[in-house]
Amino acid sequence: MLLQWWRSYISSISREGGAGVGDHSNSNNSEEEVSCAIRAKIASHPLYPKLLEAYIDCQKVGAPPEMAYLLDEIRLANDVSKGSNDTVASCLGADPELDEFMVSFSKIILI
């Protein structure tokens, strides 16, 4: 279900900013632009720090101590760059589909 939603979301972004259906000459550039746009939307989403934190926690399971330390450093760097919670509250709802994806993906990682 999540994969199906993701494909639908990518298609909607492609229609918004990608090349036309018949335009094959710039398809690689269009795919790269769409990919960059998707990554930027996800990375700027207010739930991204929580998703990153859950991912790091998963990666630490069974990792050697040196890797666990490195992952903790990455988490600390992310904590420093977090915005205030006021910003989070005002940004949620701007893209309900992405909100749903971020919440669902975080839940999947935490299972």
Mean pLDDT of the chain: 74
What pLDDT does 27 receive? 63
Q: 5 and 97 in contact (C-beta within 8 Å)?
A: yes
* Rounded mean pLDDT, 90-105: 80
Distant-in-sequence, close-in-space partners of 63: CB < 8 Å, separation ≥ 6:
71
d(CA 63, CA 69) in angstroms, rounded, equals 9
Most confident of 14-28, 33-47, 58-72: 58-72
61 pLDDT above the threshold of 80: yes
Q: What is the pLDDT of residues 23-36, one digit of tens each?
A: 445 567 788 888 88
Burial of 101 (C-beta count, 10 Å sphere; 0-12/13-18/19+): buried
Which residue reads 């990554």 in tokens?
39
d(CA 111, CA 99) in angstroms, rounded, equals 19
Tell me if the pTM is above 0.85.
Answer: no
